[in-house]
């Protein structure tokens, strides 16, 4: 029996990348997954990368869950509100919110140059705005709507996807600052939710073989990399954990959870957990 049968999850920014992988990991565990994002037509994403919310939802269903695609631009409060209105009109509970939606990765190449690692005074301001609008503000608003229902039902889990750049400089000031905000958001939400038996955590994937990373593979060492679905298996493990409240308020890593919960990546490999020193 799939351990997440009957569980209802919302995964934001799941047309592709880590978000898609998380949706698939929840799908293979039997969850109902609301897949959100902006892309509904192949080839029409702002980045030009493949993937749509409909494709992700279909793959969730193929894996044994129920995938439901909902177009939502997480820069806009009204669209987030409409998302939760729809979920609650179709379901009587929400078990999980994964705040993954993120912008600012688009157009890493400008005039033939890889600009991600340029100093902050040479970075386009749109990159800062994109990260904070969808990645931080959007996560805060979605967290508000999810928490209202979770507090009422006295159970639930919010997972904010982040990375080590929140704790040490990794080549991009805007990215590190935004990820630090996402970490603190999870920690402080957990503090206020604890008395209501609702958990909130931050989750760090390792180096994930997303479309973006593979496009720029020459700039990365992929020897200890992870598939996007590996993060999904980590989130599925958290949702199935009967003692999840003991982890509330913590910043966790997908690879360490794999060792604790006993799962491997889809290729059978066991990625090793990164640390602050090795990240």
Q: Convert 37-105 into a string of H (helix), E (strand) and C (coil).
A: ECCCCCCCCCCCCCCCHHHHHHHHHHCCCEEEEEECCCCCHHHHHHHHHHHHHHCCCCCEEEECCCCCC
161-187 pLDDT, tens per residue? Answer: 999 999 999 999 999 999 999 999 999
The whole-angstrom separation of Cα 117 and Cα 135 is 20
pLDDT of the residue at 53: 96
**Could you tell me if residue 1 is inside a domain?**
no
pLDDT at 220: 77
Examine residue 184 and state whether it is found in any structural domain, yes or no.
yes
Answer whether residue 42 shows pLDDT above 80: no
**Residue 113 belongs to what H/E stretch?**
strand 113-114
Classify residue 277: in a domain, yes or no. Answer: no
Range of the domain at 151: 8-261
Going by the DSSP 8-state scheme, the letter that residue 219 receives in this structure is G
| Structure tokens, 267 | 């290729």
| Rounded Cα gap, residues 72 and 238, in angstroms | 25
Residue 257, domain CATH: 3.40.50.720
- In eight-state DSSP terms, residue 118 is S
SS (H, E, C) 150-175: HHHHCCCEEEEECCHHHCCCCCCHHH
Q: Which range has the top average pLDDT, 49-58, 89-98, 101-110, 270-279?
A: 89-98
Distance CA 43, CA 58 (A): 17
Q: Does 217 map to a domain?
A: yes
Within a domain: 170: yes
Residue 51 above 70 pLDDT? yes
pLDDT digits (tens, 9 = 90+) for 99-139: 999 988 777 777 778 888 999 999 999 999 999 999 999 99
CA distances from 86 to 56, 76, 139 (A): 19, 16, 18
Of the candidates 86, 75, 124, 91, the residue with the CA atom closest to the CA atom of residue 7: 91
Residue 264 has pLDDT above 60, yes or no: yes
Quote the number of domains for the chain: 1
pLDDT of 217 reads 73
How far apart (Å, rounded) are the C-alpha atoms in residues 87 and 120? 39
Within a domain: residue 202?
yes
For 193, residues 6+ apart whose C-beta sits below 8 A from its C-beta are 147, 150, 151, 158, 199, 200, 248
pLDDT in tens, 228-249: 999 999 999 999 999 999 999 9
Classify residue 2: in a domain, yes or no. Answer: no
Residue 220 lies in a domain: yes
The residues annotated as belonging to the active site are 175
């Amino acid at each position: 029996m799939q351990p997440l049968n009957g569980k209802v999850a919302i995964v934001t920014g799941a047309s592709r990348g880590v978000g898609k992988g998380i949706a698939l990991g929840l799908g293979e565990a039997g969850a109902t997954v609301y897949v959100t994002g902006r892309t509904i037509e192949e080839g029409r994403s702002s980045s030009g990368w493949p993937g749509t919310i409909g494709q992700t939802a279909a793959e969730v269903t193929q894996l044994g869950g129920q995938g439901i695609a909902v177009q939502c631009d997480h820069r806009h409060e009204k669209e987030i509100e409409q998302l939760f209105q729809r979920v609650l009109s179709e379901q009587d509970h929400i078990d999980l919110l994964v705040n993954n939606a993120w912008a600012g990765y688009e157009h890493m190449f400008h005039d033939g140059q890889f600009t991600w690692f340029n100093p902050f005074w040479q970075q386009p301001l749109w990159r800062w705005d994109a990260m904070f609008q969808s990645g931080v503000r959007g996560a805060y608003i979605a967290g508000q709507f999810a928490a209202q229902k979770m507090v009422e039902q006295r159970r639930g889990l919010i997972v904010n996807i982040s990375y080590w750049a929140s704790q040490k400089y990794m080549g991009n000031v805007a990215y590190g600052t935004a990820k630090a905000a996402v970490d603190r958001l999870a920690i402080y939400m957990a503090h206020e939710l604890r008395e209501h038996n609702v958990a909130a955590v931050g989750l760090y994937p390792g180096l994930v073989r997303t479309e973006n990373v593979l496009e720029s593979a020459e700039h990365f060492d992929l020897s200890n990399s992870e598939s996007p679905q590996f993060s999904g298996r980590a989130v599925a493990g958290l949702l199935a954990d009967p003692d999840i409240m003991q982890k509330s308020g913590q910043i966790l890593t997908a690879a360490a959870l794999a060792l604790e919960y006993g799962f491997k990546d889809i290729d059978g490999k066991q990625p090793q957990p990164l640390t602050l020193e090795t990240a």
